[in-house]
Amino acid sequence: MNKLGLKVWSINENYAKIVEDVYNQEKFDFIELYALPDTYNETINYWTPLKKNITFKIHAPHFMHGVNFSNKDNYNNNFKLIKDSFKFADSLDTDTIIFHPGIAGDYKESAIQMSQINDSRAFVENKPYKLEIGKGSILKENDRSVGAKFSELAYILENTSLKFCLDIGHSVATSNALNLDVYEELNRFNSLNPQHYHLSDGDIKSDIDLHYNIGEGNYDYNKLFEIINDNIPITIESNKNSNENLDDFIDDLRKLKPFLNSK
């Protein structure tokens, strides 16, 4: 059976205070902690008391926080920004650190830089091809994610020692952006032997990754769980509408568990 996990950020002391109660109530399996740069010293004490009962996975910072392995000029800064990810991983006894390949650069450069990570816990995640360009963004309208296309992600895996995290929503969005069959592409990505999944809901015809809560979109979970390999961890990456509770996550858990039990 697949294990299900909660995604939070290292600075989310608000969730750290209530997550043990949620765990005791719902018995989810792990926390995937997004390790914001330079937050280890001030936040690690939020999380270490929880590891006696709950397993942790780590997600390293990505382009939103300055990391871009596809840009040669960003090499030194990249490795500075991910230092805290390894500190969190060591302190929380994780077996997983997930990285994004980058944006608006060269996937071969991503492979070169990511090959230097050289850590058995390191994963690379596929990305959505099309980017949402917000106000004030440094990105251009025609910029695209690196590691969104199957060929690019496969190249990175072949030229590094990284494991693979398959983000279902990212694959769906990329397939639609490139006019490819959603389920054929998911099966192609799944052939790369993912050891971790990210999952939310969305619009199966959209080229944007929407991170809807389970049941708010139109994903066919019967079809998706025919593709998802058994016994591989799944992080629920859907929206949270409150800083005071994790009711959205609890609802998502309850809606996904029947699909696990039917496998």
Q: Count up the domains in the chain and report the number.
A: 1
Give just the sign of the alpha carbon dihedral 69, 74, 77, 81. negative
Condensed to tens digits (0 to 9), the pLDDT of residues 209-222 reads 999 999 999 999 99
Give just the sign of the alpha carbon dihedral 59, 65, 70, 76. negative
Which of 168, 154, 146 is closest to 224 using CA atoms?
Answer: 168
Residue 105, pLDDT above cutoff 90: yes
Contact 248, 239 (CB under 8 A): yes
Condensed to tens digits (0 to 9), the pLDDT of residues 139-172 reads 777 779 999 999 999 999 999 999 999 999 999 9
Q: Which domain holds residue 230?
A: 4-261
CATH number for position 122: 3.20.20.150
Can you spell out the DSSP letters for 150-199?
HHHHHHHHHTSS-EEEEEHHHHHHHHHHTT--HHHHHHHHHTT--SEEEE
**In whole angstroms, what is the distance from residue 240 CA to residue 262 CA?**
27
Eight-state DSSP code of residue 49: G
Q: Which position has the token pair 């006696």?
A: 52
| pTM for the model | 0.96
Which of 119, 118, 103, 38 is closest to 69 using CA atoms?
Answer: 103
pLDDT at 38: 97
Helices (H), 65-137: 75-81, 83-91, 107-114
Condensed to tens digits (0 to 9), the pLDDT of residues 219-249 reads 999 999 999 999 999 999 999 999 999 999 9
